[in-house]
């Protein structure tokens, strides 16, 4: 039985016991839904960001802030490790739900997507959650209202009192961590778009540099994207034919995109801040390694760009 929202709801229960230490707050809306503030009115932090990212991954991956390659970025990095990467990233973490209710807008991600079940990737993978809960992460600068929560609960086909919404702006400490924790997710989504069989991906590891939070929205969104596009290093352990890896592998890294080569803030500005004008092929890690369990061979494609990381992060 597929119950990732149940697992995520249990993780929310743990967060509720550590609110002060995590610098997070929770309140209950009139409809009964719970809203966890990870960085809108609360400070949040790095540990809160680890929790936020792991809940977004439905507990199917470990997320840690730790040191990385100082030749690329001397600050901390965000590491993601999973033995159930397709469930963690595609059924839960992928930000595939633009939540629009009245004047409210947020990018929705997390396991609540599998309750809604309306995205192509979920339907293609036959992913559906039968748990009574829905747990989601909202990237937003404003906390959701009662109206927003009721609309989300309805879309997820759960009672509002069984809805948990975790909110953090991209520019907050926790928000930056949870966005940069998407190195593996971007690789898997790119593979999905390229037609690679995701069931062949058995385990995954990803790491990307953690940028300093930015006050400016465009710079903030630029830095978090650049962290993965120019600093993300992903290793996938797959059971597949070498020929298929050789065919698709070179198309996966961000360098295969026509928009590769400039800080994301500059690219975003070039397209008048319209995400849909940016080449979708850009949203992938800088480097990907396929370790083939079937043949014992390893293939590496792409490379990090420390120069662009330095330009973006300073």
CA geometry: angle at 97 spanning 114 and 154, to 5°?
65
**Which of the listed CATH numbers 3.20.20.60, 3.30.1030.10, 3.40.50.1100, 3.40.50.300 matches domain 182-314?**
3.30.1030.10
Euclidean distance between CA atoms 180 and 207, whole angstroms? 8
Alpha-carbon dihedral sign for residues 62, 88, 48, 287: positive
CATH code for the structural domain at 1-45+87-168:
3.10.340.11
State the pLDDT at residue 217: 86
pTM of the model: 0.97
The residue assigned the tokens 């890690």 is 285
State the pLDDT at residue 276: 83
* DSSP symbols for the chain: ---HHHHHHHHHHHHHTTHHHHT-EEEE-TTS-EEEESSSSS---HHHHHHHHHHHTTTSSEEEEE---TTT-SS-EEEEEESSHIIIIIIII---EEEEETTEEEEEESTHHHHH--SHHHHHTT----SS-EEEEEE-SS---HHHHHHHHHHHTS-GGGEEEEEE-TTSHHHHHHHHTTHHHHHHHHHHHHT--GGGEEEEEEEEE-PPP-SSHHHHHHHHHHHHHHH-EEEEEE-S-HHHHHHHGGGSSGGGSTTTTS-HHHHHHHTTT-GGGS-GGGSS-SEEEEEETTT--EEEEE---HHHHHHHH-
- Can you give the pLDDT of all 314 residues of the chain as single tens digits? 589 999 999 999 999 999 999 999 999 999 999 999 999 999 999 999 999 999 999 999 999 999 999 999 999 999 999 999 999 999 999 999 999 999 999 999 999 999 999 999 999 988 889 999 999 999 999 999 999 999 999 999 999 999 999 999 999 999 999 999 999 999 999 999 999 999 999 999 999 999 999 988 899 999 999 999 999 999 999 999 999 999 999 999 999 999 999 999 999 999 999 888 999 999 999 999 999 999 999 999 999 999 999 999 99
The ranges assigned to domains in the chain are 1-45+87-168, 182-314
């Amino acid at each position: 039985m597929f119950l990732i929202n149940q697992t995520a709801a249990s993780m929310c229960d743990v967060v509720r016991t550590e609110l002060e230490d995590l610098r997070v707050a929770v309140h209950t809306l009139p409809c009964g839904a719970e809203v966890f503030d990870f960085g809108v009115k609360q400070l949040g932090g790095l540990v809160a960001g680890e929790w936020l990212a792991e809940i977004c991954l439905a507990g199917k991956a470990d997320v840690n802030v730790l040191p990385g390659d100082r030749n690329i970025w001397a600050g901390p990095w965000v590491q993601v490790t999973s033995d159930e990467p397709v469930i963690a990233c595609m059924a839960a973490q992928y930000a595939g739900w633009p939540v629009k209710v009245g004047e409210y807008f947020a990018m929705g991600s997390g396991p609540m997507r599998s309750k809604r079940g309306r995205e192509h990737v979920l339907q293609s993978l036959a992913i559906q959650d039968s748990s009574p809960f829905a747990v989601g992460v909202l990237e937003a600068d404003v906390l959701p209202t009662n109206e927003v929560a009721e609309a989300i609960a309805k879309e997820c086909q759960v009672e509002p009192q069984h809805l948990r919404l975790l909110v953090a702006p991209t520019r907050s400490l926790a928000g930056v961590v949870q966005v940069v924790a998407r190195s593996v997710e971007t690789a898997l989504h790119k593979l999905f778009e390229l037609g690679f069989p995701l069931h062949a991906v058995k385990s995954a590891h990803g790491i990307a540099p953690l940028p300093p939070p930015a006050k400016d929205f465009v710079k903030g969104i630029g830095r978090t994207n650049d962290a993965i596009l120019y600093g993300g290093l992903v290793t996938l352990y797959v059971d597949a034919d070498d020929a298929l890896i050789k065919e698709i592998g070179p198309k996966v890294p961000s360098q295969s995109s026509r928009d590769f080569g400039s800080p994301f803030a500059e690219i975003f500005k070039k397209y008048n801040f319209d995400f849909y004008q940016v080449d979708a092929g850009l949203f992938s890690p800088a480097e990907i390694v396929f370790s083939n369990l079937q043949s014992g061979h390893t293939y590496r494609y792409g490379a990090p760009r420390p120069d662009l990381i330095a330009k973006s992060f300073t």
